[in-house]
Structure formats: structure tokens, C-alpha cells
Amino acid sequence: MQRKHPQQPQQPQFAAKLLAGLVAMALCATAWSQVGSPGAGKGGSAGAAATKGAPRISGNVVKIGVLTDMSGLYADLGGEGSVVAAKMAMEDFGGRVLGLPIEVIGADHLNKADVGANKVREWYDTQNVDMVTDALNSAVAIAIGKVSQEKNKLAMIVGAGSSRLSNEDCNLNTIHYAYDTYALGNISGNAVVKAGGKSWFFLTADYAFGHSLESDTAGWVKKSGGEVKGAVRHPLNASDFSSFLLQAQASKAQVIGLANAGGDTINAIKAAVEFGLTKNQTLAGLLVFITDVHSLGLQTTQGMYLADGWYWDLNDETRRFGKRFFERTKKMPTMVHAGSYSSTLQYLRAVQATGTDDARVVVDYLRKNRMNDLFHKNAVLREDGRVVRDMYLMQVKKPSESKYPWDYYHVRATVPGEQAYQPMAQGKCPAVRKS
């Protein structure tokens, strides 16, 4: 059970203003139209009628590779849990597609783009892998997207967030599936400025994801009337944040935006609390996962606002999945775990419906059919590879508000995908047809 702690005072006037603005935003949101088919049901039986002639499956097996961080700073939010989630999707589908076996394998990319690209190339060339998912770490994801295009295989990017994946580095063989830095900056940055957090300083992980998250959030801060006082970049998996936090403190910015994730976010928050930085400045965790909150505890994170694409305690369907996942892993699933489940399931439905594992045919099917499962409802795949789906603004509960283990969030606003993500007309994807 959640241990009870003394309540701590909330940030003065900050939470109330933020909540009021977000409720107004949610009430003004335009509902998505219910156009298009949700795709095949469980096991893909509804799509079987779309199959013409004999199945065209390379190697007589449909093989899915989960490329993730098994041993580094993102292992808790992805890692082996993503492999477990993909296998759960395979099992729920029935273990076979078009009468042929399904296999799920996993590997550790060590957070190195060259290691990830080489592993995926090996999978495609020698192990008959058809689709790669998770792909935590944006530098790795960009690299494997290029290999997937070269080999006409499919990369369904769940864990990586850089908006470059549907902009400069997009291609016809890469789907950006779960979230991106544009949506995170839009939801978190925009809302915090409107609540009074006008001046910002960024603490940024020095690689593709961190750069994109800083840039996208800074853009929303400025659009909302805020000011960016500066930024400092730290190495991935930093061991000491003291010098970076001193620069943030010296900036006297109201808000310190944490443009990092996983272990870096956890360690930055711990260090900021120890330094006393939070007495006069507010931390904005721009990408915080439920495993991060679990590691830090509600006493440290209570009251924090964060953007997320999924929560295990949203509804009965997500709760059932969360409890099944917990039985296997002893932790509740993150957005990355649920997204790895969903991407695997949607891929198998598309293969069943089209009768082939040809990546371009599968992508075309996914574009024409809305996606529905425990991860998202009526999600749409755009021409630039962006899956447009609802996002959520969460607030971390006080210790006294948590009623059972992993009961950590209030859902403060649901942001429709069409409002959360960058409009395709503003994008830079070279694969999008120009009018």
C-alpha cells in the first residue's frame, strides 16, 4: 500500500490557474469525427476477406523485433517490459496470422545509434524480421528508420519522441506511433505559461530527443507570451547534475524545463530537491513516466503536471491490461509498454487483412483504417508517418490521495490529437506530397 506522508504546500496560485486553463481547453476541444473503419477485430478475422489469393509472407513467419534499452537509463520505462508487451499482443492475437507462426524477439541497442542500426540490419538480412517496434532513444530511432526504408521493412517507433521522425527524418517505412516532442511541448509548455510560469531555463539531454524537446517547448513558451532565459545541455545518462543545476538556479527563471527522460529526469529532480532549487523555482518534467514517479515517490512528485499518452488506470480495459502486465513484470506499464503492445497488435491486424508483410502495403492499410485498442481510440495514421491520437495532461496525486498501489495520477485534461500534434501542413516531411 502507498505509504502516507505529511501533505506539502502546493506551488502558490500555480496549480489552480493551470487547472482552470486546462479545463477550459478541454471543454473547447472539438470531437473527432467518427469516419473510417476501426480495422480488423481480435485475430484479424474481419480483415481476412480483404486478402486476395495466397498469403505473401516472407520466410513463412511473421517476425517482430523489439529494439529497446535493456540495460541503461530507459530500461525501466521500456526494456524487457516492451518485449513482454509485444508478446502479450501476439498471444492475444492468437499466436498465428494467416495460418503462419508469429515470433517476437528483443535486443538491447545500448543507446547507440550505430549499434541499433547494425542490429536492425542484421535482423532484416538474416533473421526474417518484418517489423521493429519500441526503438527507445531518438538517435537510434532515426537510424533504424533509414535502414527500414532501405530494406522496405517497417519501423513502428513507440519509445522515441523527437518530432524529426515525422519531419526532416520521416519516410514511408517509419511510423511515429505514441507521442512526440511537439505534443509534449504544446501541452506542458503552453499550459504552464498560461498558469503564470513566464520565464524558462532548460536542462536538456544532449542528443536528438533532448534537442527536439527543448526546441518544441521553447517555441510554445514564446508563442504563449513567455521568455526563454537560456539552456544547458548535459550528457546522456549523466552522473552529476550539480553544475547544470547551478546554472539553472543562477538564471532566476521561474520554471526549469527538464528536456530529458528516464534516469536523467529522476536524477535531475532528486538533485534539484537536494539543492533546494524547488523552494524558489518550479520544475517542469516535460516527459515523465509512471515508473519515474514510482521511483521518486509521491512525496517528491506530488502536484507535478506532466503530459502522457496513456495511463493504466484510465478505464476498465486499461486496468485489465495493467494487472496482466503487472503479474509478469511486477510493475505497471508505461506509455511505451502499452504502445509496444498496440503497435504489435495493429501490425498483425494489417498483415491479416492484406495477406502480406510487405511494409508499404501494410502502411497503406493502416492509413486507410482507424486504429482502436486499449492504447488509443480512432487513431489516424497521417501521410507523414505521425499517428494522431489523444494525449492527456496529468497531475501527480498527493500521498493522501493515492488509494492503492500505482494510483498516482489525476487526469486533468484530454487533448484531442488534432490539437496536440503539429499540423501536417507545417511539417517538413519529404515523403508528403506537395500541392
What is the pTM assigned to this prediction?
0.87
- Nearest alpha carbon to residue 149 among 132, 137, 163: 132
Categorize the per-residue pLDDT at 44 as very low, low, confident or very high, splitting at 50, 70 and 90: very low
Question: According to the model, what pLDDT value does residue 162 have?
Answer: 96
Q: Are 188 and 226 in contact (CB under 8 A)?
A: no
More confident residue, 391 or 12: 391
Categorize the per-residue pLDDT at 55 as very low, low, confident or very high, splitting at 50, 70 and 90: confident
Question: According to the model, what pLDDT value does residue 54 have?
Answer: 65
- Nearest alpha carbon to residue 41 among 340, 353, 433: 353
Asked whether residue 38 carries a pLDDT value surpassing 70, the answer given is no
Residue whose entry in the numeric block shows the C-alpha cell 531518438: 138
CA distances from 249 to 46, 186, 201, 243, 401 (A): 58, 24, 9, 10, 31
> Mean of the pLDDT values across residues 129-141?
97
Q: How many CB atoms lie within 10 A of CB 8?
A: 11
Write the pLDDT tens digit of every residue in 260-303: 999 999 999 999 999 999 899 999 999 999 999 999 999 999 98
Is the C-alpha dihedral spanning 414, 212, 157, 406 positive or negative? negative
Categorize the per-residue pLDDT at 11 as very low, low, confident or very high, splitting at 50, 70 and 90: very low
> Mean of the pLDDT values across residues 69-85?
97
Question: According to the model, what pLDDT value does residue 433 have?
Answer: 75
> Mean of the pLDDT values across residues 47-55?
50
- Nearest alpha carbon to residue 286 among 300, 274, 268: 268
* 62/101 Cα distance (integer angstroms): 6
The residues near 171 (Cβ < 8 Å, ≥ 6 apart) are 145, 146, 148, 149, 385, 430, 431
Which residue ranges form the domains of the chain, and what is each CATH number? Answer: 57-179+314-389 (3.40.50.2300), 182-308+391-420 (3.40.50.2300)
Question: According to the model, what pLDDT value does residue 10 have?
Answer: 45
Question: According to the model, what pLDDT value does residue 51 have?
Answer: 43
Question: According to the model, what pLDDT value does residue 53 have?
Answer: 59
Categorize the per-residue pLDDT at 13 as very low, low, confident or very high, splitting at 50, 70 and 90: low
Lowest mean pLDDT among 42-46, 111-115, 340-344, 424-428: 42-46
Q: Are 93 and 100 in contact (CB under 8 A)?
A: no
More confident residue, 434 or 91: 91
Question: According to the model, what pLDDT value does residue 434 have?
Answer: 61
